[in-house]
Amino acid sequence: MSSFEFEPKRLKRSWGQHILINRNVLEIIASIVSESADKQPVIEVAAGSGNLTEFLSKRCSKVIAVEMERDMVDSLRKRFESSKNVEIIEMNMLRFEFEKYYRKYNRLVITGNLPYNLSKLFLFKLLDNAVYIKDAFLMFQFEVARRITAKPNDRDWSSISVVTNILTKPELLLKVGRGSFKPQPKVDSAFIHLSFFDDTSRYLLYEKCNRMIQDIFNYPRKNLRNIVKSRYGTQYLDIVGKGIDLSLRPQNLTIGDIQYLCNTILRYES
């Protein structure tokens, strides 16, 4: 295996790609991920130059490193040509075949330092494939991480918080300063853990209510009465109001509130 490296000429700046170079942070991440994986392979997405891959390979039984850029893939294969526990896959992480690897390895452990501009898309890809995933350990921009891990009544509680909390138990593990990356981004980052529930009822709730959740949180300053009236009609106010306070705003709604709202409106529509 070659020495620790960073090759800025190969980065896709349009994707917001920043290589993690802080060895202490890399060691912490590898330790956390390996403890969750135990003897199970780890799927690393957006492997980039392979810095995290290297630290993971020293602790994990197997690392499956996913990278889409051809020159990066060539560099990774060269860097890990003598590493028997590292497999390099040339693939866009947004097209990763979760079900295929689930059938081979059971519920998956995912990690990665995500390109900023693709991070939300990948999060929703994970949520859409929640049934195949055990844990995800991911690096996001700090503000995005705060929204993902927010709770009801938090300022950052939003649609992305709700859908993530339906399917996972999210936790912000580590704030990572911008100086830990090259090229240095303009904002700090955060490393988060998503512990996925193995619960069919939660999968069904997500599939059934995802669109409605997006609709509700498009109006963060309106109360529920105005949202229901404008989006679904005045005929829903009485029936919805029997089980939830219509003066609440989206920021105040719990998962239980949202489940009640969704079930009530869908049942009334049918």
The 10s digit of each residue's pLDDT in 112-167 is: 999 999 999 999 999 999 999 999 999 999 999 999 999 999 999 999 999 999 99
What span, in angstroms and rounded, lies between the C-alpha atoms of 229 and 207? 23
Is the pLDDT at 5 greater than 60? The verdict is: no
Contacts of 171 (CB under 8 A, 6+ apart): 149, 192, 193, 195
**What's this model's pTM, rounded to 2 decimal places?**
0.93
What span, in angstroms and rounded, lies between the C-alpha atoms of 214 and 158? 9
What span, in angstroms and rounded, lies between the C-alpha atoms of 44 and 88? 10
Is the pLDDT at 6 greater than 70? The verdict is: no
Residue intervals in the chain for CATH 1.10.8.100: 202-269
In this prediction, residues 77-90 reach a mean pLDDT of 97
Q: What is the mean pLDDT of the chain?
A: 93
CA dihedral (131, 133, 135, 140) in degrees, to 10, reads -100
Is the pLDDT at 10 greater than 80? The verdict is: no
Residue intervals in the chain for CATH 3.40.50.150: 8-198
- Give the model's confidence band at 4: pLDDT under 50 very low, under 70 low, under 90 confident, else very high: low
Q: Which CATH class is domain 202-269?
A: mainly alpha
Name the region of 132 (left: φ>0; alpha: ψ -120 to 50; beta: rest): alpha
Match domain 8-198 to its CATH number in 3.30.360.10, 3.40.50.150, 3.40.50.720, 1.10.3470.10: 3.40.50.150
Instruction: Give the E-state strand segments of the chain in sequence order.
Output: 19-20, 42-45, 63-67, 86-90, 108-113, 133-141, 168-176, 181-182, 189-196
Q: Is 124 helix (H, G, I), strand (E, B) or coil?
A: helix
103: its two tokens = 């059938």
- Give the model's confidence band at 2: pLDDT under 50 very low, under 70 low, under 90 confident, else very high: very low
> CA 263 from chain center: how many Å?
26
Name the region of 83 (left: φ>0; alpha: ψ -120 to 50; beta: rest): beta
- Give the model's confidence band at 3: pLDDT under 50 very low, under 70 low, under 90 confident, else very high: very low
